[in-house]
Structure 1
Amino acid sequence: MNSTVFKYLLLSISTILINELFKEALHFDELLYNSLTEQFTSKQIEKLFEFQKKWQWVSYTFIPILLLIKTSIIATILYVGLFFYSKDLNFKSLFNVALKAEFIFLLVPICKIIWFCFFQTHFSLEDIQYFYPLSALNIVGYKGLETWFIYPFQVLNLFELFYIIYLGVQIGKLTNTNTDYGLTIISYSYLPSLLIWISAVMFFTLNFS
């Protein structure tokens, strides 16, 4: 089996398994049920959960698709950035780098499980939704913060920093240069794209919240 395909399958399966572990460890369905009781009747909630269980397999197919889309977009952004710096690299190499970098974010739900199981043992659905390990949001807190500011504060986290550094190191290796050069490519390609994405999320959150 091609190593890139193997990494992609490993990432997809790991993401699905960790998400299931996350829901089980934190009793996510129970929290969701309690949250919905404020808006729906017990019979309506039961029907909703039955529907969810019936079509749960669809979510399992969505995860690999979303991962494929995300890594392809990141690889394309890096490819364009290198193109403007007159560096010719094949797309497959950059896709492989983006794929490996994505494993960093598997630590996020693992850290969430550890935090809520051993440190903050009393929590609500909102606490889980807005908690992002090692992020700026944990410093300022989500309570009292405008809804459209929550996402950018979540993105400012150490995992994102490690992700950026890892991409920079790998691009430096692929181009036979150094990490500084790789980070320069990141600063002119990935970071502006990330800023545009954050701005788009803030815009839609502001308009639909």
Structure 2
Amino acid sequence: MSTSQNHRFLIADDLLAVNRWTYFLLLCVATFLLLFIKKSFIESRIAAFEIMEGKGEMGIFHVISALQYLSIPLYYLWKFTVTSFVLWVGCFMFGYKITYSQLWKIVLISETLFLLPDLMKTGWFMLVESDPSYWDVKAFYPLSLMNFFDYELVDKRWHYPLKAINLFEISYWFILVYLIHISAKKKLSYAYNIVFSSYVLFFFVWLGFYLIVYK
């Protein structure tokens, strides 16, 4: 094993050794701060919202914002639980001995990656496109397929799938593979089979379901 590879293994082991609830709390705090910055410095400056604020018509939006903040830990708990279960089923199918608890921590750590697109999106609208519309903000997702299209010309049912397929999501798959490989200490090829036959398959099935039921 090369020195660089051994170093990566040590980093991964250190991450997997952290206390899950401490890490969960830090992730929630980071997400809360990014959401606060986005709402304070981007959404609050959208012209339509400024007009509504002046007319005292922003009450419902303030309620929705409060619910978004409060729902952060609940959303993460739900997402990690479902994703871990899907991966656990994949492990079971391939006879890969790894506990649900280990998978939950792997999913938790891997989720950190998705702070980057939120950070990039915030930076983009604060520094580059400083006068966006509400729909500009809603349709934008860094390094996604949506960037290749004019969202105004795309059927709205395709907005979510085109944003969901992005470089960060794909990178997430490989992080899951690597951490499962490290955690179970088995062949890397098995970890690829598990992730791509369970989580990745479920991901595309979900997008297909979304397109079918969208109205």
Please say which of residues 179-188 and 122-131 is displaced more in the overlay. Answer: 179-188
Q: Say which SS state the counterpart of residue 46 (structure 2) adopts.
A: helix
Of structures 1 and 2, the one with the larger relative CO (CA 8 A, separation 6+) is 2
Give the corresponding residue for 1:129.
138
Amino acid across the alignment from 1:15: T
- Deviations along 1:158-207, one digit per CA (max 9) or x if unpaired, are 100110010010111122124332122111000111112212222332x2
Percent sequence identity over aligned pairs: 24
Of residues 36, 54, 63 in structure 2, which corresponds to 1:52? 63
Segments of 5+ residues of structure 1 without an aligned counterpart are none
Give the corresponding residue for 1:19.
35
The change in CA–CA distance for 1:137 and 1:46 in structure 2 (over 3 A counts) is closer
- Give distance in 2, aligned partners of 1:197 and 1:146: 18
Question: How far is the alpha carbon of 1:46 from its aligned partner?
Answer: 4.1
The change in CA–CA distance for 1:182 and 1:52 in structure 2 (over 3 A counts) is same
- Give distance in 1, aligned partners of 2:199 and 2:33: 28
Of residues 25, 31, 36 in structure 1, which corresponds to 2:46? 31
Give the corresponding residue for 1:42.
55
TM-score, L = length of structure 1: 0.85
Q: Say which SS state the counterpart of residue 87 (structure 1) adopts.
A: coil
TM-score, L = length of structure 2: 0.83
Of residues 23, 33, 45 in structure 2, which corresponds to 1:7? 23
The change in CA–CA distance for 1:140 and 1:15 in structure 2 (over 3 A counts) is same
- Deviations along 1:134-169, one digit per CA (max 9) or x if unpaired, are 011001231211111111111111100110010010
- Give distance in 2, aligned partners of 1:32 and 1:80: 48
- Give distance in 2, aligned partners of 1:142 and 1:85: 41
- Give distance in 1, aligned partners of 2:184 and 2:71: 33
The change in CA–CA distance for 1:156 and 1:47 in structure 2 (over 3 A counts) is closer
Amino acid across the alignment from 1:138: N
Q: Say which SS state the counterpart of residue 177 (structure 1) adopts.
A: coil
Question: How far is the alpha carbon of 1:36 from its aligned partner?
Answer: 8.2
Give the corresponding residue for 2:5.
none
Segments of 5+ residues of structure 2 without an aligned counterpart are 1-17
The number of equivalent residue pairs is 198
Q: In angstroms, what is the RMSD of aligned CA positions? A: 2.4
- Give distance in 1, aligned partners of 2:71 and 2:29: 12
Amino acid across the alignment from 1:31: I
Give the corresponding residue for 2:11.
none
Give the corresponding residue for 1:193.
202
